[in-house]
Chains A and B, each alone.
Chain A
């Protein structure tokens, strides 16, 4: 009997997972004991961390994209289609173009989407760097921004890559200094809670660095409305902030598929945080941003989760008891300017140490961004 595994989503989680399965289950593929189908509605794989560099002209939107077919092992069947519904009782998927597909095991890895329209005025008045169009538009805006008040506001909770907003303002500070414009540009960073970041050690480091670099920190600020005509940002705490250029990290959404299939009540999928298995349906796993686990929505998380699920699925296919678990491992490089960076590493329940930023760590981040394509192939 052939075990049919379906992976939905061609981002970091889905692609690493499919390739790890191909690697782990070589003999089983050879004798027809398993087949794996990767369903994605995008022919391209997109590596989102590249978008942080686009506004500063360091990377292009095209650098973030490669054809999925070039990254996925030849043992994997790639279907370009969109899953419209998941029926976990019948173990069946409804596809937009291709009818229906049954599965033995299902992994959802569809990621998160941006929903700026949830905050009135944000789509019209705000910029962001969390997608290709937003990053390209912000590049054009920054290129002609020579004076005024740049406000970066963290609005979406949760949002992808929780360190990226800190990185953006530190890079912007450095970028404007290099161009001799910093005296004429005021920079403010707003954050929803009473410190600069959710993790205390990162918040402490960011606050000190902001002070040294003359970046104003506004805490307890949850923007709930943007007035693009007046250039004013309003918060649910009753505060107002004038801006000339607003970079607003937009609200994020999970997937309607999750809610409709009863896998979570607000678009984010409930999972066991160590096995990534759904408590609501048999043989369903969720990895990456879509999974509601108490750590970052970050590429490294999707990567490590995918490794765990691949190992658990491989054990099941071989008739063994799965023992691999995910411990919350998260690794994030944090740029502290245009040519220095630091990095943090932590697991569930631990606090990272923020090391002193350095040029070699910045080079390591740039180097990793290139070698990421080996990660997507399941090699690194």
Chain B
């Protein structure tokens, strides 16, 4: 037997398949198809959690996604612990392990419940008022304590071992909500042949047909009709049916985010199955069929376990075969709760009494309840309840006062009416409109190509709903260009109809009382709190919301918003529409980070780019550094070497014999066309027209504002072909910058740009022995200084593969950059390495490259420049074509501030103590004795130990730097002031003779 409260004759679950589960360590039996909530109720368990602020005992309120109370932790293993799972949504599987939250030491005895007694202290705005002083205590004391005491579950502390998938999908008609309305709309649209997606958050389609025992469609029980209709839809090629799938966000142009819970309901999910799947759907038309959510009655102690929504009690009975009590009371202000009483009575549950706030309502359900012998009390209110861990009685009083009567009950089913779920409509930027007659907000002005149908549109009655939904589905399909449907509209044979209800606090919880009548269960907000917020000066509903936190919990006020609004409006003495509704925002229900991130974790968090030569460097034990997305060999430590020793050795080797460096990541762009030189003239400061084919030039690119944007060596391969190099990090934006000017400013030029960064692997061979290393492998290129002078380029072969061989240097030594097609990169490197070994060459990494170029005063854009440095500031005036009429940046460079005296200029810096290496970024001052804050006149941009110079070297941007040669300046650091001398930027081989050495 799967629980004492299971009624074998009721419900749709098969009793055959038992699933055992545990809650707070206690083992129970449930049935496959149960939710955790229905299985707990079947075992008579109502107490499932403690409330957020007051730690009040709480039970199961609902049977769906709106649940504010029954939040539990589901544990599969040490790493798979999910907090804040709604027990009403979690499907049962054999072995499910659930724990209650926010209680210590146990659920039935919770020390934190002292907050309930001290509750006058914790009224609305309490945190804002109390924890203001001292300010410093907020971070260290108050916030951690409050977070520990109040709160939801505990986040898992291990990496999430599950995987999550994502899918972009497109359809003509997206139907959100799989109740009667959604199914009818989907049928109508699908029959036309257009692409349809139908999604519902429940495991089974049907929506309110799960509990509406009075609904008959096409001659069948409503729920059975829904299953048959969905099976028919699922079998159609043009339809995708998604159950357990919540539309959580409705974004621009009918872009809807949905999360499908793929395996949380399975006992053993299997390794290949994603836990959740994120669907990002673009729909031509959206049909919103999101239904309505029942509201609770706002009365004293309405949060006691055993008090729940009437529709939920009906769902537990009619779908899960569970009676929520043996002796239930009903408290209502509308008809739908009568149906719950009738169904329970017929199933053999005693209905102690129906308490109806209305004076003399009439209708078939009331007649039926009366005929079944249920006691009905009109014009009365429940003003008090007995019991703490479980409701034990309800005290009833005429709503205008008078004699009280206490009725023993073990559950109270309540209904204040139904709130249309306009969340997604509102997220779509649609404007809701208040219907004064029915007292509800319904879709008003639409902002996107969508339509609302059924209960979420304020449409009452199954027949009207199906008419509206079927027509809307057909119209949506037609709008996308579909032909008229051939199908037939489902026919309603029997249905239920519900009247309205009430908003706000019930009698006995009015302004003259101090009772705890909860409006928002999850955030522990009472009717009194909302009144207090108004009394303290909150006028806007947005302020009331933030002050009280009403509707701000993870349930987003699905049950509480309308009550809160009505109480605020009443206190303000304004009609509801004038007070207005707070904005609905995504997500509709909480979404896991896993689903949002989906594939983008681990190796797919971001692309990791590796060069063709990477495997060789890895095998050599290179240490890599991240440069943008690239992994670059940083240094190549040999046994026993630390970074400094390795870098020193690499730097010395390059100047003594030779070094090999993987420069493949440098950006490369091929500029081709008869106007290539003209284009280069416009994009770079340098002159290009007269550069001979076969020669290279160092180019500087500016932005229009006159500041350095990028630099690199450019080789002219032919009159109409340039091989342009860029910085590693700058490659994509330089390409974009060039394309921008070419396409939009200089479209008359016949020239095209192609990224060849990844076509060519680049091996820099630098040092006095570099030519000796390369020459034996090269064919068809004269390697002499006359045949291949410094700053020239030739096409030929190396190791039998095509090469673009540059004679250039970023070290100040004789140097070459060997470009070979990328797939040959590693093999050519290995061949060069073998040659290099004959001469004692070393492989060097990016750190040595940085040191070597700094020894020569060569700048690195982005390190020695920061977007506010002009060519003149960087000492690169020589690279600006003085006779040019135009280039990007020509005018910006001439702006008054950019030519003013005293600008920061790039200079060399030597510490007085040659052993001291400055910190990059350190600030420079003239007078170290001045008061703090000191006047900073510059900062260090590059700083290294130079083994080749036998001392530290640095580059710095210093105000008026070039007029300070030889001056002494100071670098104040935490451990003392460092004295430095301003020098030229070249620290090694000032004459440059080694380029041909």
Q: Do A and B originate from a single complex?
A: no
